[in-house]
Amino acid sequence: MKFNPETYRIPDKPHEPFIDPNEIHEILRHAAPDARRIHDIIQKSLNKNRLSLQETAVLLNAEAPEYVAQIQDGARRLKESVYGNRIVLFAPLYIGNKCSNNCVYCGFRASNKDAVRKTLNDEEIIHEIEALEDHGQKRLILVFGEHQQYDAAFIAHAVRLAYGVKKGHGEIRRVNINAAPLDAEGFRTVKDAGIGTYQIFQETYHPEAYHTYHLRGKKADFNYRLTSLDRAQEAGLDDVGIGALFGLYDWKYEVLGLVRHTNHLEACFNVGPHTISFPRIKDASMLQMGRQYFMNDEDFARMVAIIRLAVPYTGMILTARESAALRNEVLQYGVSQIDGGTKLELGGYSHSLNEDQDLNKGQFRINDNRTLNEIIDELMDQNMMPSFCTACYRLGRTGEHFMEFSVPGFIKRYCTPNAILTLAEYLHDYAPEETRKKGWHMIDQEIQSLGNNGIAAQLKHKLELIKTGKRDLYF
């Protein structure tokens, strides 16, 4: 029977593989862009409807400059309508870099004898978090190598430890996790510790390519990793993050893999991923692989805009792997979360390491070395609101509930006021004088944009409470 990319679809059942490379390749092959089709697809996304694989493929194949400009403009408008001008800030904290896998692109891989192995003990974790709190961080992602020592109980202990560290006005209000897949019982264990999002990146959605990069360890099992977040969902952990490591295979294929994964989770569990990440391969200790599939910056910017249009409500994370200039550009097209003041060496925050990054002590090279305050300054220069908000997660406005709330008025009613309150905390507790002046000016402008209503009045009252020492106020 002739392949019909408009109707073909793999049945979705939990725990069963859902990626068919032939399906994705055929969809890409049949996707023919034209002006009317591109306009209609962008309009569908602006109406806050998720795109199909076929529609996403049309955007991926739309390479003419005028089409790319339309796609990026659509992504910019969509981001503004769903997220406003907020950018959420977080910090990664590496807990341990032991690893049983042998992934050729990763400095942590088991065969890398030059890697300096370390696992932070409780005292060291506390010192790291205190150092992060001293700079104003409120949101962390704890990162673990994939090793038997870093089991669910170990992860849960680290999470509880992180939440318990309080220094001055500093505290961690949300802890996300990037670690190995767990069984259902393991996911329940870490959920009970109060984690936010559990990230598991498939790296590449092409099975054959996957096996060429993952040579040893449990991670070498493509299907086990692919269905890992099904186990999380069934364990009650419905806040999950997916991602692909761009540079392992054709980037257009990987975008459709991410969309297909989103489809699968929504079809099986009625809730898609909370976040999508799209790291690119960067220099790492003993990196030995070809550059056939490496992306240039122009394609990377296109890709960010297309993912934004494909999944209107999904958070998009861009890390310090990318340069400051590129990060500033693609923030416009859909990125909603970035890290700031990032250190990858274990113990790097408390020891204030300023020398050139030692790749034998980190997973890969970072390319944005700005401090958290420098990033906050530059965000405000671009009229973007730095935010450490965690209100939605703590009040249950995630998953299906977030989509229910994401209607006209939601941003002004909840998101903007909560971002303002967390920025005010940062300005009061941590910012240097110039940043403080700039920040309060921005807050005044944002309050004016809310109009003369009850929300603005409540916000002004909460801001006065912050000035008197109250913290963790939200709508």
The model's confidence at residue 119, banded by pLDDT at 50, 70 and 90, is very high
Q: Which two tokens stand for residue 219?
A: 């991670």
Q: Are residue 70 and residue 92 in the same domain, yes or no?
A: no
- Is pLDDT above 70 for 354? no
pLDDT (average), residues 250-266:
97
Over residues 159-187, mean pLDDT: 97
Predicted pLDDT of residue 5: 54
Rounded to 5°, angle at Cα 351 from 112 and 128: 85
Among 169-173, 397-401, 435-439, the least confident range: 397-401
Burial class of 45 by CB neighbour count within 10 A (0 to 12, 13 to 18, 19+): buried
Kindly give, in sequence order, each residue whose CB lies less than 8 Å from that of residue 97, ignoring residues fewer than 6 positions away: 108, 115, 117, 118, 119, 145, 346, 363
Provide the greatest CA pair distance for the chain: 72
Determine the pLDDT at residue 392.
79
Domain extent, residue 225, equals: 86-370
* pLDDT at residue 359 tops 80: no
Mean pLDDT of the chain: 91
Q: Identify the pLDDT of residue 355.
A: 56
Say if residue 31's pLDDT is above 70.
yes
- Tell me the CA distances in angstroms from 261 to 78, 184, 205, 449, one per residue in order: 22, 19, 9, 38
Do 455 and 312 have their domain in common?
Answer: no
The SS3 call for residue 369 is coil
CATH code at position 217: 3.20.20.70
Beta strands 139-144 and 385-387, pairing class: unpaired
As given in the structure block, the two tokens for residue 460 are: 């002004």
Instruction: Choose the final residue of a domain: 350, 370, 390.
Output: 370
Verify that 142 and 273 share a domain, yes or no: yes
Q: Is residue 284 very low, low, confident or very high in pLDDT (cuts 50, 70, 90)?
A: very low
Residue 388 falls within a domain, yes or no?
no
Q: Are residues 342 and 418 in the same domain?
A: no
Segment 215-236 mean pLDDT: 96
* Domain finish residue from 370, 391, 415: 370
Same-domain pairing of 295 and 341: yes
Summarize the confidence of residues 228-253 as an average pLDDT: 96
Residue 351 is predicted with a pLDDT of 84
What pLDDT does residue 403 have?
53
pLDDT of residue 391: 86
My answer on whether 407 and 327 are in the same domain is no
Let me know the angle formed at the C-alpha of 198 by 357 and 44, rounded to the nearest 5 degrees.
100
Q: Cα(121)–Cα(97) distance, rounded to whole angstroms? A: 13
Domain check: are 72 and 157 in the same one? no
- β-sheet bridge partners, residue 244: 203
469: pLDDT confidence band, cut at 50, 70 and 90?
Answer: very high
What is the model's pLDDT at position 87?
A: 96
Same domain, 330 and 413: no
Would you say residue 404 has pLDDT above 60? Answer: no
Inter-residue long-range contacts of 325-332, CB under 8 Å, 24+ positions, other chains counted: 326/297, 326/300, 326/301, 327/368, 328/378, 328/382, 329/301, 330/300, 330/301, 330/304, 330/305, 331/87, 331/379, 331/382, 331/384, 332/72, 332/76, 332/79
Structure confidence at residue 349 (pLDDT): 94
**pTM > 0.85: yes or no:** yes
| 451 and 365 fall within a common domain | no
Number of domains comprising the chain: 3
> pLDDT, tens digit, for every residue of 96-110?
999 999 999 988 889
89 within 8 A of 389, measured Cβ to Cβ: no
Is the alpha carbon torsion for 147, 151, 157, 158 positive or negative?
Answer: positive
Domain end, chosen from 80, 96, 125, is at 80
| Statement: residue 366 has pLDDT above 70 | yes
Report the pLDDT value the prediction gives residue 419, as an integer from 0 to 100: 95
pLDDT above 90 covers a percentage of the chain that reads 79
The owner of tokens 């590449």 is 204
Confidence of residue 321 (pLDDT cuts 50, 70, 90): very high
- CA dist 424 and 137 (Å) reads 13
How confident is residue 451, by pLDDT bands cut at 50, 70 and 90?
Answer: confident
With a pLDDT cut of 70, the percent of the chain lying above it is 91
Tell me the one-letter amino acid at 18.
F
Helix axes 251-269, 21-30, angle to 10 degrees: 120
What is the DSSP code string of 72-96?
HHHHHHHHHHHHTTEEEEEEEEEEE
β-strands 170-171, 166-167 pairing? antiparallel
Residues 48 and 103 in one domain: no
